[in-house]
């Protein structure tokens, strides 16, 4: 833990005087991700694919491990352009299994390639990944209690994350369980899980209010 001062449950004040969710100040590497990315709405299909794949790689590990390797993942997986990843072959799998810059988990590597192919199918079906994912945005009644994002085991599953997970699995996606999907929903800004009192919460909510939701193709 950094020298941040705990000021309330789930909140700390950093040396810069800003109040953050406690996980966001637990290491310097988290601060820019917490302050400028996590919870802010995303409508790029490539970035959404990246986020859901990295949440899958994170399964069983700490998120900081993935975050510190993110640029390596981007280099290894063609910037997470799913149209390129979908064309990866067995030779690419063997290359990636030997890549010390990423998580060398064969099942998760194969899953990423499979999910890229499934992403292409979903775009053909719905028009975009963004339109499909945002169509599941939960209402106020669906919101869970606040959580500590750094404690992976505490990440909740919700009716919405379970529904998205079920729909993805039905379409052949893998490593997309309800907990992984909820972490993805947090990361992509579908929900705002910055704690009350965090300096980012109001700005994230303002961005979410101004965000033009992508639509499904009719």
User: By CB neighbour count within 10 A (0-12 exposed, 13-18 middle, 19+ buried), where does 140 fall?
Assistant: exposed
**Tokens matching residue 18:** 């800003």
Report whether 30 contacts 23 (CB < 8 A): yes
Decide if 55 is catalytic: yes
Q: Respond yes or no: is residue 71 known to be catalytic.
A: no
Give strand pairing partners of 11: 8, 21
- Show the tokens assigned to 181: 């999907």
Q: Would the CA dihedral through 184, 174, 121, 159 be positive or negative?
A: negative
Residue 157 DSSP label: -
Catalytic residue among 23, 38, 63, 132: 63
- Annotated catalytic residue within 33, 37, 137, 167: 33
Residue 33 appears among annotated catalytic residues: yes
Q: Pick the catalytic residue: 30, 55, 132, 134? A: 55
What counts of helices (H) and strands (E) characterise the chain? 11, 3
Catalytic residues: 33, 55, 63
């Amino acid at each position: 833990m950094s020298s941040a001062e705990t000021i309330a449950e789930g909140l700390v004040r950093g040396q810069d005087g800003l109040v953050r969710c406690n996980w966001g100040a637990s290491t310097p590497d988290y601060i820019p991700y917490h302050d400028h990315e996590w919870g802010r709405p995303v409508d790029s299909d490539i970035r959404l694919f990246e986020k859901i794949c990295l949440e899958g790689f994170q399964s069983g590990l700490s998120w900081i491990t993935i975050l510190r390797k993110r640029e390596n993942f981007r280099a290894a997986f063609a910037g997470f352009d799913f149209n390129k990843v979908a064309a990866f072959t067995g030779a690419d799998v063997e290359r990636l299994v030997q890549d010390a810059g990423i998580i060398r988990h064969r099942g998760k590597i194969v899953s990423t390639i499979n999910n890229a192919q499934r992403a292409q199918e979903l775009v053909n079906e719905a028009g975009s990944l963004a339109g499909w994912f945002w169509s599941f945005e939960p209402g106020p009644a669906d919101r869970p209690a606040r959580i500590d994002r750094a404690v992976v085991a505490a990440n909740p599953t919700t009716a919405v994350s379970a529904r998205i997970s079920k729909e993805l699995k039905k379409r052949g996606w893998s490593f997309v369980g309800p907990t992984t999907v909820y972490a993805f929903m947090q990361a992509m800004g579908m929900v705002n899980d910055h704690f009350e009192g965090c300096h980012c919460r109001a700005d994230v909510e303002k961005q979410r209010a101004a965000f033009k939701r992508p639509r499904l193709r009719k």
